[in-house]
Each structure stands twice: as structure tokens, then as C-alpha cells.
Amino acid sequence: MNAKRRNLFIFLGSALLGWPSLAAGDRKSPATAPTRSTVTPRHVLCFLGGKDGLAVLRKTAQTAIRQFGEGFSIDESYSMDTEDDRMELSFAVCWDRVAESAFSEADERAVLEHRSVLYVLGPPMMAEKTIAISATALRFVQFMLDGGALAAKGESAGVAHGIDRWKELADQAHDATISNDSLALASICRLAFARRPIGDPTAGQSMETVGFHLVGLPDMVIDEVKLANPKIYTNGDQIEIADFIDAIATRMTEYGVGETIARDRHSLSDDERYEDDSYKFNPFGVITIKSVSL
């Protein structure tokens, strides 16, 4: 572990002092945030198929809805039986670049070669239902990929993984469900459907998350990230910021949003980044963190 990464974990460890740890075998329900809006979040899932593939995508989705996807529905307005030339750029922007080997050249090629698109809408979610419904959405993605979909993207945060990564997350979610580990399930769903971190600190931009509303949590904005070299932002830096964000998200899930922000002295406000009719709008608010040094 390099010195920068070690220093960050020392910081995170000190921040966690005084927090109780879950004993082996404990089964604690994940915490969610009180809503600050009448808006309820929902999943929008995008699936790509091959030539004349819309009928196959639609049939697979209908089977998933019938078997386990109550409340999910096919969006006929934007689904199409032809290629969408916006997909190459859209996936390029949305690929998960934090998890190791989250996508491959084969996944990128599949996006280029798609010839059909299907959108699926999840049901509106109250906070206490977000994790269960997000787990169903992850199962839905796996079912579609097993049924022949070439690629998948979560539109409610703009995040895409490669086929292997989607299936890995779905398998982890299945294992967490079987073992009744709801805290792990909440974390897996967050990693599947939220993006973090977004922004470029070398350009003076804040670093943000999008999609935490899909597991009933506020998003985060870090006003300033102080890099070791202010002119260079590396993938390693990105991973360290993601680790920092994930540590706070884990504490919120285990101990609650109010207690977490009180102990860490962060602030919580309404999400003014998006209009409230945007699928990215977070009705649980945004936590602002003034500064983080790497």
C-alpha cells in the first residue's frame, strides 16, 4: 500500500474511533434517510440488444416482471428496434472506473454493435423499500444479461458496468440475501447503481456522488479535494476519494444519517443540483463535506 493510500486509511480509521462494530452473526437493518421532498426515486434501466433484438429483449423483460419484478414495467416510448447512436458516448461517460476490471473491450464493442434498445422502469420507492427494490433491479439486470442482452446501464445515476461485473454484483446480492445480511445488500446495491466520484479536482470542481437515493441515502458533495500534485488527478486518486465516500456511506447505513453527519460535522441540505423531475434528483438531500486531503 502506498503512502498516500495508507494515510487516507489512517484518517478513515481515526474517524471511525468510538463507533461500535457489528458482532459476527448480528443482523441489523440498514438505516435510510428521512425524505426532504414529495418526490420518490425510481430505477430506469437501459438494455442493449442485437439486430431485430427488441422483441427478444421485451419478452425477457416481461418474463422477469412476471416472475419477480412486480411494479417494474417496459417503457415503450423510448425503446427501439434500431441502434441509438448516442449510446457509445453515453456508456463511455458512465462506465464504472473505480472497481477493478468493471468493463472490458468486449463490453465496449458490444455497445458499438448494438442494434436495439429497451428501457425498463422500476416502481416509485419509499425510503424503507429502496434496498429491496434495488436488489430486485439488480436481479433484473442479471436476468436480462442471461437472456441475451449485450449491455446494461442504470440511467437513474448514469452508471454502467460490464457483463461480468454486473453478474458479480448480482451474485453478491444473492448471497447477502440468502445469509440475511441486509447491511451488505445495501452496500452492494449502492455499488451497483450509484456513481462516485464525479468531477475533476484539477479544474477546481467539487467531487460528487449520484444515485445514493436508490438505497435511501443522501448524496455527497466534497467542495475541495486537495491533491498531492494539484495539476495531476490519477485513477489512484479517484479510488481513494471513492474509498472515503464509501466509508461515510457505510456509517450512514449502519448508524443513521443524522448520527453520522453530527459526528463528522458535515451539513445536510436539499438537492439543488437537479430539477425534482429528474431521475437523478435525490429527495433525501445532499451532504456537503468542505475539504478532503489526499
42-84 pLDDT, tens digit each: 999 999 999 999 999 999 999 999 999 999 999 999 999 999 9
Q: Are residues 52 and 156 in the same domain?
A: yes
- Between helix 257-264 and helix 235-255 the angle, nearest 10°, is 120
Tracing cell 425503446 back to the chain, one arrives at: 79
Same domain, 166 and 224: no
> Is position 32 within any domain?
no
In this structure, the answer to whether residues 140 and 201 fall within a common structural domain is: no
Indicate whether this model's pTM tops 0.85: yes
In the structure, what pLDDT confidence band is assigned to residue 27 with cuts at 50, 70 and 90?
Answer: low
104 within domain boundaries: yes
Residue ending a domain, among 189, 209, 243, is 189
81 plus 184 within the same structural domain:
yes
**Quick one: 277 exposed, middle or buried, by C-beta within 10 A (0-12, 13-18, 19+)?**
exposed
Would 21 be classed as within a structural domain? no
Q: Is 17 a member of any domain?
A: no
| End-to-end Cα distance, the chain | 14
Q: Give domain status of residue 276, yes or no.
A: yes
How many angstroms separate the CA atoms of 183 and 231, rounded? Answer: 38
| 211 occurs within a structural domain | yes
**What is the distance, to the nearest Å, from the Cα of residue 283 to the centroid of all Cα atoms in its chain?**
16
User: Does 28 fall in a domain?
Assistant: no
pLDDT digits (tens, 9 = 90+) for 69-127: 999 999 999 999 999 999 999 999 999 999 999 999 999 999 999 999 999 999 999 99
Q: Are residues 56 and 124 in the same domain?
A: yes
Same-domain pairing of 211 and 180:
no
Report the C-alpha gap between 255 and 19 in whole angstroms. 9
How far apart are alpha carbons 192 and 172 in whole angstroms?
A: 11
Do residues 97 and 199 make contact, with C-beta atoms less than 8 angstroms apart?
Answer: no
Nearest to 79 by CA among 35, 107, 103, 115: 115
Same structural domain for residues 155 and 276?
A: no
Return all residues near 256 (Cβ < 8 A) that are at least 6 apart.
Answer: 31
- In the chain, beta strands by DSSP E: 44-49, 73-80, 116-121, 151-154, 159-161, 195-198, 207-210, 219-226, 267-269, 286-293
All 3 cell numbers of residue 216? 435511501
Q: Are residue 106 and residue 158 in the same domain, yes or no? A: yes
Grid cell listed for 206: 467539487
Quick one: 231 and 115 in the same domain?
Answer: no
Half-sphere exposure of 141 (CA within 13 A, CB side): 32
Number of domains making up the chain: 2
Residue 217 lies in a domain: yes
Q: Of 189, 222, 250, which residue constitutes the final position of a domain?
A: 189
Please state the rounded mean pLDDT for residues 259-282: 95
Domain with 227 in it: 197-293
Separation between Cα atoms, residue 74 and residue 206, nearest integer Å: 36
Q: Are residues 55 and 89 in the same domain?
A: yes
| Same domain membership, residue 217 and residue 174 | no
Chosen domain end from 140, 158, 189: 189
Q: What secondary structure, in 3-state letters, does 63-84 show? A: HHHHHCCCCCEEEEEEEECCCC
Q: Are 159 and 65 in contact (CB under 8 A)?
A: no
Higher pLDDT, 23 or 212: 212
Give the pLDDT confidence of 177-206 residue by residue, as tens digits: 999 999 999 999 999 999 999 999 999 999
Query: Angle formed by the axes of helices 235-255 and 182-193, to 10°?
Result: 140
Residues 66 and 124 in one domain: yes
116 by DSSP, 3-state: which? strand
